[in-house]
Structure 1
Amino acid sequence: MLPVAIFLLVILAGLVGYAMRLSLLANMGTTQDIQGARAYLAARAGIEWAAYKVLSPGSTTMEVCPTPPSPFVINGFNIVLTCSRVVPKDKGDTQDIGIYTITSRASVGSAGAQDYIEREIKVTLSRCLFGSEECN
């Protein structure tokens, strides 16, 4: 009877260990999902900051790409912004059209670590000026 009891205890201990491992992995997955969503929102906040600077309501000049503060941190996420601008003229050579490509990368943790999270968003914006006024 003793060997059967030991066998059952070993089997039950193995099942409990397996269940605990599954629970831990599920918890880690949930945490990474939440952090991923937070990283996306931080990257989006970086894009919105840059878009506001570029489109500059009320401005009558074509804005240059903004320089973010250093370090640029939103809710614990490090934000890296890159921006490029081209200003072609329209076919009639009367309107300046600023085309901005902005990339925002939000990350937390050390690259290669288990808790490292990174999200990147890229947008293209344009602004049209006719002389010193916004185009319609």
Structure 2
Amino acid sequence: MRDPQGGFSLVSAIFIIVVLSALGVGVVRVSTSEVVASASHLQGARAYYAARAGLEWGRHRAVNASQCDAASTLNVENFTVRVSCTAQVYQDPQPFTLYWLRATAEQGALDGTRQDLVRRTVRANVLPP
């Protein structure tokens, strides 16, 4: 005669294997999304510092060389950095020039095949000494 409990043990074992497999898949998905989020955060920080480098470059040109380009493009650590500068001369009572600088660093694309665009923009007003 067969044991009536034998079939129940097999069903229980299969159920436990399925539940543990589902938990394993969930852990892998969470881990993968954490890695992607961490990499995105790192790229955002790199873009910010590339934009800061572009801003410093523009400030140096404006203050030290009196060159205020409406638009310039640089390549900083594989980021495309666009720097714009606007100058305004004021008379109060001595004439002085105030520079408005803007730098935007970006890398990647946002289209149908890639969605890895990272972009950071920084701005500053500069009054030469």
Q: TM-score range by the shorter chain?
A: 0.7 to 0.9
Distance of 1:25 and 1:127 partners within structure 2: 46
What is the identity, as a one-letter code, of the residue corresponding to 2:75?
A: V
Give the gaps of 5 or more residues in structure 2. 1-8
TM-superposed deviation, 1:48: 0.5
TM-superposed deviation, 1:4: 0.9
Give the gaps of 5 or more residues in structure 1. 129-136
Query: Equivalent residue of 1:80, what SS?
Result: strand
Distance of 1:79 and 1:38 partners within structure 2: 12
- The one of 58, 76, 79 equivalent to 1:77 is 79
Q: TM-score, normalised by structure 2?
A: 0.84
Describe the superposition over 1:88-133 as per-residue Cα deviations: whole angstroms up to 9, x where unpaired: 1113xxx2211111000001101365321111000000126xxxxx
Give the root-mean-square deviation of aligned CA atoms.
Answer: 1.6
Higher helix residue share: 2
Runs of at least 4 residues of structure 1 off by over 4 A? none
Do the aligned partners of residues 100 and 111 (structure 1) sit closer, same or farther apart at CA in structure 2, a change above 3 Å counting?
Answer: farther
Q: TM-score, normalised by structure 1?
A: 0.80
Describe the superposition over 1:56-107 as per-residue Cα deviations: whole angstroms up to 9, x where unpaired: 0xx6xxx241353x5x21000111111111001113xxx2211111000001
Aligned residues between the structures = 118
Bigger Rg over Cα: 2
